[in-house]
Every structure is written in structure tokens, then in C-alpha cells.
Amino acid sequence: MFKKNNILFSILFSILFNTNFTLVTTAATAADVDNNREQLLNVLDEELKEVSRLSKHSGHNDPNILLRMAELYLEKARITRDKENEIIFKSESASRSKVNRKEIYKGSYELFQKAQKTATYIVHKHKNFDKRGEVYYIMAFNAKEFNENDKAKKYFKLAITSSQDGTKTNNKANLALAELFMNDEDYREAKNVYEKSLTDKNDKWWTKDAYNLAYAYYKLGDYNRSISLLKEVFKLSSSSAYINMSKSVLNILAVVCSDADRIDEAISFYEAQKQDISRYLIKIAKNIMEKGQSTKAEKALDNGFKVVKSDEERVKILILYLELYNKFERYEKHLDVVKRLKDYDQKNIVKLDSDTIETIISQSQKMSSTLQKQLISPTYAHDESGRAQRGEMVLEYFSVLAYFKKTKEYEYQFFKAETYYALGKYDLALNEYIKAFDGASEAKHDKFKNLSIEGIISIINNKNFSGENRDKYLTAAYERYLSTEGKSQKAKENRNKIFQRLYNLYFKEKKLKDAEALLLKYKKEFPQEGKVQETMLGMLMEKYDKEKMNSDFMRMALLIQNGEFGNVSEGYKKEVEQYLLTLKFKEVETHHQKGEKDQALVGYLKIYNDKNNTETARKNAAYNLAILQHEKTNVLESYKWAITSSKMMNSDEIKKFETSFTVIVAELFNRLYLSEAAKLSEHIFHKLCFKGVNSQKINVFYKNAILVYLADNRIDEALLLVKKSDQCNIPPRYIKETGMELLKSLTRLKRYDTFEGLIKYLDNGSYIPYLIKAYADLRDAYLKSARFDEAKNAETKMLKYYFDSKKRSENIELEDLDEIAKIFIARLNEKAEEFKKIALSYPEEQYNKTLKLKLAKLDELTKEGNAILETGSGTGILHSYKILSECYARLANEIETFIPPGKSPEYIESFKNTMTKVSIPLKNRANDFSRDGRKLIMDNNILSDNNMFFQFTQKNRDQNHDVPGSYYEAGILMDRRGSK
Amino acid sequence: MFYFKNKLSDKAILIIMFIFAFTFTKTWARSNIDGVSELMENGLYFSSWPIVREDLKRNNLRSETADFVLSQVIFKMGAKHIESILSDDKNFKTNGLPSLKYIWAKILFKKGQYEAAIKIIRSMPEDSSIRALSYLIEGSALVFIDRPEEAFDIFADCINKSNKSLSRAKTKSEKRILEVNKDYCLVGAARILFSQKQFVSAYLAYLDLSKESYIWPEILLEEAWNSYYLRDFNRTLGKLVTYHAPFLRGVFYPEAEVLLALTYLRMCLWGDVKRVVDEFYSNFEDSFEQVKKYMSSVDGNHQHFYKLAIQKLQGKYLENRTLDKIIDSIVHENAFNEMRISLEEGENEENLVGNNNSKVAAGVNPNNIRKYLSFSLNEHRRLMGEYVLDKVKKKLKELDKAFKDMSYIKLEVLAHEKKKLYAFDERTARERGDVKFLKRNEKQYFWTFNGEFWADELGDYVFALGSECE
């Protein structure tokens, strides 16, 4: 009843045909796009569901509905494809190639297949379907999706033939086909199709298709039409009703205009559109350049350059100039552009991007390389100005390259140097070599470093190298040269020379510090070159001195002092030292001389405390302090400084000042600073105890030290000193003296082990008779320890020394003699005992025998006594006299008192009378001995235990002393005054 | 009520009925239309029909009395009884009885032979009792042959004639038929105006139809369409929402749902469109498929459909939602109600036959009356079943079409959604529903809708939704 169904129908089918699917996103995020896509897919699924329903209702026999279904499948397939593409794009580029594209594109592929299947079904099943055109259209698009362009074309053509002209399907198929022709660059066919199909200017895609047509016109050489259409497309693109192709137009119009020789028109157009003209001019220029029309291209760029307003645009055009001049090898102009670009960058007017910089670098390298070759080629060998010009250009290129390749600046500096060298500008070349060297060193690029050095050397050695800056360059050159290593002999020789040359240069330039540093380096590298070092040192020290650079002078002097310059001559060292010392002491000594002791003290103290001063100076200062303090009677201070200074002195120096030290020691001793005196003495002694020193006073220090130690009961220290005596050439006298003292001390302290050791030490087997007493003491100690053998040995030693002395007619000390005498006395005593043991006995034969024996014994006794007598030991002699006297007297007495037993009185009387002849001489002899003994005592003032025997054994009628001798067995007579 | 105890095919029933008829014709060989008229005067319409039928078939009915009888059959039993006989008999074209002419014109109209139908109707005498009914056919035919001005007049005559006939009508069914006829003539003018796109005039013309009219529920849909074309979408929605009133629950017009979806579509209320469509599918799609399958097994079984109708009248819910809805709507239709009322009245004749034998016409065996009655009642039931089946098929077609329409509408919506997504534009949400979107005319008042359906307000509801089209 109502025609509402028609209305519905028209509504519904107005939505069926929509083959241009464009997802337009503005500032949407990826998430928005994804979301949108998902929603679209959902909508499409709903659509498919509805269409499937409809199809089912119609028994799947309605081709319109099937067509719609195919379209939906196609639409869904394309959106799914978008989604799948994004999955690929979102994956890491590295893993992109490994992606299973088949799997990823499975979804869209199936949908395309469904669309294709549905469409194929329609055309087969409904051969008379009036919309077969649309079906073929779908099939064509499917084929396009699978890049089956030939198939796509075939189906588009079928779509065209199956649809009426002017219908949407027909138009769209035509346009799609035209696009395929465009892709195949079959512009004629594309043009034909576009011209036929571009009828509906109200279609929003008109601009896009018209653009293609314009492009086809261009490609076919129909520039006028192309330009006109492009402008129209541009105009319509401003409306939201059309697809905006303005950018594409802008991009291509320039090129078309340039081909059509209508560049001005293009410029006007872009200006009118307030576009970045430079960008399009670049296009124009590139286009012209590709055709090899350099002049035209240049002109286009010139025009553009005039027109552009901003520096950025100018730079873009300059870059194009670069390309142009590079291509056509216009060196001067190319260089000019390069320099201008560099200026822009350097002055921060426009910062060039990395691509531009890369272009500049590569082109500059190429250009400079070409120019360099020209420079050295025979062609320009006689063309000075040509060479000069090329050289300049090369240098400028290198400057530019150095700027842009800052990390490789040194390379270009080297190349510049080479260029300057080729041009004979050695000073400039040297300067560049130096820069290159520095840069290469910093970059640790040994190759260029070495090359630069070689360059430097070649210039240095070049006779033609001259110029006012020569020295300045030379200095830098030498410095660089020396900073490298040279292992070969030749290199070493060179280096040696250059060290010296540089040194001289430094002096010339008054760079003393540099000179000093160089000197030290030289010394390290050429330690054996003492003479050179000495010369250098001399120059330097002199300069320091002249310039009153005292601290610097001192520093150097110190180095010399410390042996840093080991190979300079000793003379020089001494000279320096002396001078140093002189310097140091000059002022102070003035005070000293004036008697300003305190000031002098301060001065010396200052010198000493200044660690920068040489050892010598300080040593001298310390010594002087010791002297000064001594003079000021500050004994301990004097001691302190004496010790200090003596520690700093060597043996020869000690020897030199030994007298002073002796005085100080004496003062110490006098002031009872025994320990200090001993220490100082010992210290000095040790110092002097060196072979070759030959000190006169060493003995003094030796003896003083020992004696003081002994006095201080520091036996061991004394002992050490004694033991060192033979190393120090101490005369035997001193050794003996001190040894004896030490022995005494040891004896006193009963340190017999040490005593024994000392004796053994002292007894070096040579003639040391003064040890007799010591051995006697040792013997006694052995005896006390029941070490009889050792005691015997000791006694043997004693006797040996005694007899040796006798042989040599040497004097032996009384106490030594006494000891020897004691030995003899012991023997005497022994013999006396033996004598005493022999008793006269009768019979007569026996009597005679024993008497004879006794007399013989007595004779032995007497010999023994004589031996003792020979010793000269008073106490010994006395003792022997006593024994002898006693024995003689005893025998006399025994004879006198012997009554032969069993004999008659007559016999006895006769016997007695006869014996009286024997006894009386014996008695007299005894008396002689007594008398001699007495006389000995009186003459020699001998005090011994036997004195009493001689003085009181019988009345001494000569003296009229009447003292009962029995009271005192051992004693001496003294008068009241204490005299004997 | 007589029911066939065994399920016999319609053909068998016809044979049996034919046998009866044959038997009866032997009996009736000598009966006349006067006797039938007498029977009818006694209120025995159904009982007399077989007799009339026989004469009709023999083309024996030529008198005024015969015309009267036939008109009574039309009014009391429905024209279908006669139509079913005349549809194949070309001889009756020459019979000059107005009633038969009416029937014949109806048949021709249904066949689309409008001019022929008009010609026949115009040959009917004006004073014919059936003339009022023929005006409707004439007017409608004139519309179809694009002679609306004449149709206007005819419809006006139809209304007059129907009113006059109503004053003379005796039975309920007759009155009903005449009222319905009058109302259809009344809306005929509105329909003409609608077809002439004079939607405003049509709108006003529709308002002349009383809401108490039997045909008002179906006219409501036309009104809704009219409002739709007037772009008064809110009013359209208001009218359509009336179908949700409990009073009209039995009414089922798939087209109304389509119109509803379409209206939302026009208002760019995509969400509502989809909702209506999805609900429609959700409610009917599955059950519709089941019904289609079911129909293949019960197609032609009028008895079955008669039974279904009766079950529905008794308030039973048929398991298949779609079928339930369809049957429910059919049994609420005016035509079916007329048939139902006729049947009720026919069944009441049993009492008359039993109670008053003396009133039976001379020459008519009272026992045969019962047989005739039984025959007529069965025939009527068969016709009812046929009607229901026929209507079910039509409804199913309507539904089928509605599904398609709904799909297309939804596709329209999806196309819009897609367009938006392709444009990737965001719309700002707008508030929905505002009184300012309401349009009124002088025949309407504005009431705010508070969720209740008042009878006098039915059809006047207007939505206050703003279009969301841009």
C-alpha cells in the first residue's frame, strides 16, 4: 500500500557502495587508532552478520546481498591487513625478518579469500546480475591487494564493461585502472582513462585522481595542462570536501614548472602560497641538474637565493649549489660555497645537520684531493700562480675539513702542512705539522704523529727553511720531535743534537724553566753525556745565579749534590758545591767574623733547617753550630751539633775537623759529660776508622772513648771499640793500653769469659808482652775454675812473651815481671819443697847421697832463683832470696844439727867439724841472700809480703831495729810519717 | 459446538458436505427462497444457508427476496461463504442481484480488476441494502485507479449510506459490519490524502476516526506512518508506543516495529535503532524459523488453525512465541471477531431450532435444520480456520519482510557508525529528550507521559526526543 519499501531500499543501497576506505587520523594516538580500528571491525562484523541474515532469508540467492557481503569481506580484510601490518611494524626491526608473515596475515588473507569467493560465486551464479560491474570491481581490488596487477587490470576492465558509463562503479573502476596504469608508468593509458572518468568533480577523491592525471600530463610532456590541473587540484584541496593533495601538488609543481621553463611562475605560486620556496627551488634545481643543465640550474638557484628570506632557506640553496658545483667540478665556486656554509655553522647562524656536513666533507675531500694532484702534477710545474692558487684552495679545503671533522682535525692539518711544504712555505708547513702532531698525539694516532714528525724533521733539516718565525717554529718542532721515541742509532744521534739545540733555543728565548726540564730529560736519556750535561748545567746555574734565582740555583745544586748528575765531573760537582756553600755561608760567616755569635747561630740554624739546602751546606752549618756553641760554652748544644754534623760528615771531613771534635770531647770530659764525651768520641772514632783516612787523632778518640766507657763501667761498649781497633789502624800502644785497662776492668768485674775473649782478641800471636799480666790473671782464674790445662797454657803464653821480650831486649812492665817471677817462684817453691823433703839420714853413704842431693837441689834452687833474679821483678827476687836464704839456712842447719845416729860423740864432733865446713858457707850464703834481699827492698822501695822476712828474720845490726818479727809475718815498716 | 472428532482432511469434509448437500438437494428439490427468508426471519441464518447455497450454485437466486437473503448471509455470516462459492463461477457475473454483484465486485477488487469492480458496483441499485458496503470497494478501487477525487465522494456516500443502514440494522453483526464499513470509508479519505502526500490533511482526517472504532488499532499504524512522513517523529514514536498498551497487547504488526526502528533511524538515534532491531530479532528470529518449519507440516490444515485460534481465545499461550503472537493478533482482528461473533450467533441458532419448531418454514424438515445448521457452522469454522491460516501466512510474510527491513535499517545504522569511525571524529554526547522537540496541532493537547496508558490518551503519546542527526 505504501511505497515505504522503495524508500528503505534507496536508503539501504546508498550505503552499499563505498570502496574508498580511508582512515583519517589527525592527532590521534596509536591507542586511539587501534581502538578505532577495533570498533570498525566490530561494526563490520555486525554488518556481515546482518547481511548474512539477509542472504539466508533470500536463500543465498540475492546477488545484491552477496555483493554486499563480498564488499564487507573486502573492507574487513583491508582493515585487518592494516592491523596486521602494525603488528609487523611494531616488532623490533631486527626480528622483523624472522616474523612468520604468513601466520600474521592469515586473518586478512582469509577475508580476502572470502570476498573473492563470494564475488566469484556471484559472477558464476548470476550471469545476468546487473551489478556484475561492482563484483568485478571487488575482484579487481582483491587482486590488487595480492599485487596481482595484471589480474587486477583484467577485472577492472571487466568491471568497466559490466557497468554502465557514468555509474559509480564504472567511474571507480576506471579510476582504479588508471591508477594501475600510473603505477606501471603507462601514462598514456592512464591519461585516457582519467580523462574519461574524472567527471564528477563533487567526488571527494577527485583531487587525488586529478593529481594523477596532472602527473600523467607532465610525464607525457603536456606541461600546460599539467600545471593548470595541478593548480586546480591545489585550489580544491583547501576544501574539506576533497582529499587534500596540496602537499603533493607543491612537491611536483616545481618540477613541472621547471621542465616547462616556467620557473618564475612556480616561484610566484609558492610565494603566493607562503610556502618554503627554497624547498621547491631545490626540487627545481635538482630536476634541472639531473638533465645536465648546469647553467640553468645555477640560474634557478640564483633566483631562489634572491627570493628566500631566511638563513635556513639560504643554507638549503647553498647545499644545492654545492651539489651543482661538485657535479660540474667548478672548484672555485664550490670552495666558496663550502666556506660560506662553514661560516653559517661556525657563527651559529644556521647549524648544519649531519647529512649536510657529511656532504661537505665528502665533496671537500674529493675536491681537495683532485686539486692536490694537480698541484704536484707536471702540468703546473712551471705555472707558479696556478700552483699557488691550487695550493691556496687545497689549504682552504683542509681548513674546512678540519673544522667539520674535529676529531680528525690533525689529519687535515697534516695535509695542510704537506701542501705548504709543496709550496715551499716551510714555516707555515712546520706550524701545521706541529698542530697535526699535537692533534695526533692527543688522539693517539701514531701514524699521523709519525708522519708529522717526519715532516718536522725534513723541514728542520731543510736548508731553505728560514724566516722570522723560524726559531719559534723550531722550538715547537724540536719539542714535538723530542716527545717521540727514537730507538735507532740515527734517531738517537738526532735526538741528542736536538736536545742541545732546543736547549740553546730555550736560553735564547729565556725559557729557563723549560731549559731546566729539558736538561733533566736529557740527563735521563743520555746519562753518559756528562760533559754536555755539565755544559748545560753550567749555563743554567750561571743564569740562575746571575738572575738571582737562588732557590732555582739551590734546587739544581741539590740535584748535583745528590748525584742526580752522576756523570758530570767531580770537579764541577765540587765547584758547584763549593759555590753553593759559599753562597750559603757568606752572610752568616760575616756575622761570625764580626763576633756576632748569636746572629751567626741564627744564620747557621737557618741554613741547617732549610731542607732545600745542600747536604754540605747543612753539614757545614751544623758543624759551625757545634763550634759556635762550644765557643759559647754551651757544652751540650755543642755536643748535639757535633754529633749532628759528624753524622753528616764523611771520614775525610771528620778528619779535617778532628781537632775541633777533640776539643769538644775534651770539654765534655772536663765538664764530666762522660757519656756524651764517650759517644762523641766513639762516633768520631767510627767515622775516622776508614781505610785511607789516616787520622792523627783517631787514637785519641779511640782511647778517650774506651777509657770513658770504662770509667762509666760500660765495659761492653769499650770492648766493642777495642775489637774494632785493628780495623782502624790504632797503634798497638793504644790497643795495649786500652786493652789492659779493659782487662783490668774485666778482672775487677770477674768477667773472665769476656776477659778470656779479649785476651784472645788482643793476642794476635804477635809480640804482645803486655798481656803477660793479663794471662797471669787468666791463669789464676783458670786455676780457680780447676781448668788446669788452660791455666797451664796461659802460663806457657806468659813465659813465651817473657822470653821473647828478653830476646828482644824489650822492657817488660814490672807487674808482668812479677807475674813471671811468680811462675818461677812457684817452681822455686816446688823445688824448695822437694829440697825440704829430702832428709839427711845415715848411713854415711846415705848421708852423703842425700847431702849431695840436697846440695844439688840447692843448686837448682839457686838457678831458679837466678832466673827469678833475671826477671827483675822485685817481689820475685825477694821471694827467691827468701826461699834461697831459707833453704841454704835450712841445709846449713840440718847439717849442723845432724847427729849421725849411733855414732860416737867424737865421730859426731868430727862429723860436725867436717860438716861445719859445709854448713858455714851455706849459712853465709843464706845471709847473703837475706842481705841482698834487704838491700833490694831498700833500694827499690819494694813492698811485698816477704819484706818482713828480710827485715826481721835476724837482727839487722846495720839498722838497730829491734822489732819482734814474730808478730808480723807480713808487714812493712813505716815510720810515723808514713814513709818507709 | 460441533467438532470433528476425527481429524479428516478438508477434502473429505467437503465430500461429506457434498453428500449432505446432495442429500439435502434431493430434499430441497422443491424448496424455495421464501422458505429461507422465513427461516432467516426466525433468526436461523446459519441453518438456512445450505439451502441458499444450493440455489446459489444453481444460479437460482434472482428475486429480491433472494437478494435480501443473500444480504442477510453477508451480514450475518460474512461474505466469505458466498465468495467461496462464487470465486470460480463465472456464471454469476451475469446475475443481477445486488448482493451477488457486491460479492463479485469484491472478488474482482481482490483480483485487481478495479475498473470492472467499479462498473459492477455502479450497476447496483442505490437502495440496495448492501450498497453501503459496496461504496467502500468502489472508493478503494477508485483510489487504485488514481481517481482520488471521485473516491472522496464515494467515501462520503459510503459514510452516509452506512449510517442509514445502521439505523435499520437489527443484528449485532450487521451493525458491526456497517460500522466497520463506515469507519473504513472514513479513513479512506485520510488514506487518499496520505497517498497524495497531503500529510497534514491526512493527519487531521485520521483524527476523525474514533478511538472506539473496531479498526482503530490498525489505523493507528497508518497514523504513525503519516506522522513519520510529516517528520513528526516523536508523534510517530508516541503512536507506536501505544501498541505496547495492555489494551492493544493482542495487536501484532511487525511493520510497527519496523516503523519504530525507521523512526529512530531518521532521528539518528542509532543506539535505539539497534536496540529495537536486536530486540525484534531476539524476540522472533528463532521462533520464526521454527514456525516456518512447523508450517510445512500443518499447511492447509484449517482445522488446526481454527483450534489454535480458539485456544488463543481461551487464553492459552502457544509455545512458539511468534506463532502465539500471530494467532493472538489474528483473533483480535476485526474480521476474525466478526466471524467469531457470527459463529456465536450461529451456535445460538441451536436453541432456536430446538425451541421453536413451529417457526420452521413450511416444507422444511426440522431435523434437516439441525443438519443444515451443523453444516453451516462447520463451514464457518472451516472458513475461520482458513482465515487464520491465511493470516498466519501473511503475518509470517510480514515478519519475514520485517526481518529484512530491520536488517537493512541496522545496516543503515552500521553504515553511519562506520562513516563516523572512518572520519574518526568524536561527537559530544547530547542530552536526550526535550519538550521543545514536540510539535502540536490544534486537534491535540499535550499531556506529559507518566508511564501509564490511558485509553483516551492512546495514540496521542508523543516522544520528546531530539534528533541526533547532524
For B408-460, write each residue's pLDDT tens digit: 888 888 888 888 888 764 333 333 444 444 444 434 433 333 444 344 444 55
Is the per-residue pLDDT at B315 higher than 80? Answer: yes
For A926-970, write each residue's pLDDT tens digit: 888 888 888 888 888 877 777 777 776 555 544 544 444 444 445
- Dihedral of the alpha carbons of A143, A147, A153, A156, in degrees to the nearest 10: 40
Nearest by Cα to B380 from B59, B73, B57, B58: B73
Q: With pLDDT > 90 as the criterion, what percentage of chain B qualifies?
A: 14
Are A396 and A448 within one domain?
A: no
Residues of chain A with pLDDT under 50: 1-27, 957-958, 960-969, 980
**Residue from B276, B398, B416, B418 to probe the interface with A (highest A Cβ count within 10 Å):** B418
**Does residue A28 sit in helix, strand or coil?**
coil
Q: With pLDDT > 90 as the criterion, what percentage of chain A qualifies?
A: 12
CA distance A422 to A893: 138
Chain A nearest-CA residue for B403: A54
Q: Name every chain A residue with its beta carbon within 8 A of the beta carbon of B397.
A: none
Chain B nearest-CA residue for A24: B423
Contact check, Cβ <8 Å, A53/B412 = no
Amino acid of residue B203: Y
Contact check, Cβ <8 Å, A8/B410 = no
Grid-cell match 589527525, residue found = A26
pLDDT on residue A341: 93
**Residue from B195, B408, B426 to probe the interface with A (highest A Cβ count within 10 Å):** B408
- Minimal C-alpha gap between B46 and chain A (Å): 35
For B77-110, write each residue's pLDDT tens digit: 888 888 887 766 666 667 778 888 888 888 889 8
Chain A nearest-CA residue for B422: A23
Amino acid of residue A117: K
Is the per-residue pLDDT at B13 higher than 80? Answer: no
Q: How many CB atoms lie within 10 A of CB A498?
A: 20
Asked which of A812, A843, A861 is the last residue of a domain, the reply is A812
Contact check, Cβ <8 Å, B403/A21 = no
Assess if residue A512 is contained within a domain.
no
Q: Name every chain A residue with its beta carbon within 8 A of the beta carbon of B469.
A: none
Are A781 and A889 within one domain?
A: no
Residues in chain A: 980
B407 → closest Cβ in A22, A39, A50: A50
Are A584 and A631 within one domain?
A: yes
**Does residue A335 sit in helix, strand or coil?**
helix
Chain A nearest-CA residue for B402: A5
Averaged confidence pLDDT in chain B: 79
CA distance B410 to B228: 18
Give Cα B249 distance to the centre of its chain: 17
Contact check, Cβ <8 Å, B411/A26 = no
- Minimal C-alpha gap between A47 and chain B (Å): 6
- Minimal C-alpha gap between A314 and chain B (Å): 40
Looking at residue B73, what DSSP letter applies? I
Chain B nearest-CA residue for A69: B411
pLDDT on residue A584: 64
Are A841 and A863 within one domain?
A: yes
B422 → closest Cβ in A5, A12, A23: A23
Contact check, Cβ <8 Å, B422/A11 = no
Chain B nearest-CA residue for A55: B404
pLDDT on residue B91: 65
CA distance A886 to A926: 7
Amino acid of residue A113: Q
Contact check, Cβ <8 Å, B407/A2 = no
- Minimal C-alpha gap between B183 and chain A (Å): 18
Nearest by Cα to B226 from B265, B187, B264: B187
Assess if residue A120 is contained within a domain.
no
CA distance B324 to B411: 29
ipTM score here?
Answer: 0.72
- Minimal C-alpha gap between B418 and chain A (Å): 6
User: How does residue B467 score in pLDDT terms, banded at 50, 70 and 90?
Assistant: low
pLDDT on residue B86: 75
Q: Name every chain A residue with its beta carbon within 8 A of the beta carbon of B262.
A: 4, 8
Contact check, Cβ <8 Å, A53/B424 = no
pLDDT on residue A1: 34
pLDDT on residue B434: 42
Are A632 and A753 within one domain?
A: yes
| Burial classification of residue A305, based on how many CB atoms lie within 10 Å of its CB (0-12 exposed, 13-18 middle, 19 or more buried) | middle
- Number of folded domains that form chain A: 4
Give Cα A596 distance to the centre of its chain: 50
Instruction: Name which residue leads in pLDDT, B323 or B352.
Output: B323
CA distance A576 to A557: 6
Contact check, Cβ <8 Å, A51/B411 = yes
Is the per-residue pLDDT at B16 higher than 60? Answer: no
Are A770 and A828 within one domain?
A: no
Rg (CA), chain B: 25
Are A379 and A452 within one domain?
A: no
Nearest by Cα to B102 from B46, B141, B153: B141
Give percent helix, percent strand, percent coil of chain B, each to the nearest 5.
75, 0, 25
pLDDT on residue A213: 94
B424 → closest Cβ in A25, A46, A68: A25
| Burial classification of residue A758, based on how many CB atoms lie within 10 Å of its CB (0-12 exposed, 13-18 middle, 19 or more buried) | buried
Q: Name every chain B residue with its beta carbon within 8 A of the beta carbon of A72.
A: none
Assess if residue A828 is contained within a domain.
yes
8 A C-beta contact, residue A876 and residue A868:
yes
8 A C-beta contact, residue B372 and residue B47:
yes
Q: Name every chain A residue with its beta carbon within 8 A of the beta carbon of B224.
A: none
Are A665 and A611 within one domain?
A: yes
Assess if residue A295 is contained within a domain.
no
Lowest mean pLDDT among B30-39, B127-136, B207-216, B248-257: B30-39
For A551-606, write each residue's pLDDT tens digit: 888 788 878 877 888 787 888 877 777 776 676 677 677 777 888 888 888 888 88
B418 → closest Cβ in A4, A8, A43: A43
Are A371 and A420 within one domain?
A: no
- Minimal C-alpha gap between B259 and chain A (Å): 10
Looking at residue A611, what DSSP letter applies? T
Are A828 and A795 within one domain?
A: no
B421 → closest Cβ in A12, A26, A43: A43
The dihedral built from the CA positions of residue B240, B241, B242 and B247, taken in this order, carries a sign that is positive
With an 8 Å Cβ cutoff, the interface of chain B facing chain A consists of: 225, 262, 281, 400, 403-405, 407-412, 414-415, 417-418, 421-424
Max mean pLDDT among A542-556, B262-276, B359-373 falls in: B262-276
pLDDT on residue B363: 59
pLDDT on residue A24: 44
CA distance A735 to A768: 10
Are A419 and A395 within one domain?
A: no
Are A440 and A589 within one domain?
A: no
pLDDT on residue A977: 58
A15 → closest Cβ in B404, B412, B421: B412
Asked which of A351, A377, A404 is the last residue of a domain, the reply is A404
Assess if residue A251 is contained within a domain.
no
Range of the domain at A427: 405-468
With an 8 Å Cβ cutoff, the interface of chain A facing chain B consists of: 2, 4-5, 8-9, 11-12, 15, 18, 21-26, 28, 32, 36, 39-40, 43-44, 46-47, 50-51, 53-54, 57, 68
Grid-cell match 561492482, residue found = A134
pLDDT on residue A711: 81
Assess if residue A886 is contained within a domain.
yes
Mean predicted confidence (pLDDT) in B298-324: 88
Nearest by Cα to A325 from A341, A310, A311: A341
For A776-822, write each residue's pLDDT tens digit: 888 888 888 898 998 888 888 888 888 888 888 877 777 788 788 87
Mean predicted confidence (pLDDT) in B25-37: 56
Contact check, Cβ <8 Å, B423/A24 = yes
Contact check, Cβ <8 Å, B424/A44 = no
Is the per-residue pLDDT at B407 higher than 60? Answer: yes
Q: With pLDDT > 70 as the criterion, what percentage of chain B qualifies?
A: 79
Assess if residue A749 is contained within a domain.
yes
Asked which of A768, A789, A812 is the last residue of a domain, the reply is A812
- Minimal C-alpha gap between A323 and chain B (Å): 44
**Number of CB pairs < 8 Å for A and B?**
65
Q: Name every chain A residue with its beta carbon within 8 A of the beta carbon of B109.
A: none
Contact check, Cβ <8 Å, A39/B412 = no
B424 → closest Cβ in A4, A8, A24: A24
Assess if residue A934 is contained within a domain.
yes
**Residue from B278, B281, B424, B427 to probe the interface with A (highest A Cβ count within 10 Å):** B424
Is the per-residue pLDDT at B26 higher than 60? Answer: no
8 A C-beta contact, residue B164 and residue B132:
yes
**Residue from A43, A56, A205 to probe the interface with B (highest B Cβ count within 10 Å):** A43
Rg (CA), chain A: 67
pLDDT on residue B358: 47
What angle (nearest 5°) sits at the alpha carbon of residue A857, between those of residues A854 and A860?
155
Contact check, Cβ <8 Å, B407/A22 = no
Q: Name every chain A residue with its beta carbon within 8 A of the beta carbon of B423.
A: 24
B418 → closest Cβ in A2, A40, A50: A40
A2 → closest Cβ in B225, B409, B412: B225
Contact check, Cβ <8 Å, A47/B414 = yes
For A597-636, write each residue's pLDDT tens digit: 888 888 888 888 888 777 777 888 899 899 989 988 899 9
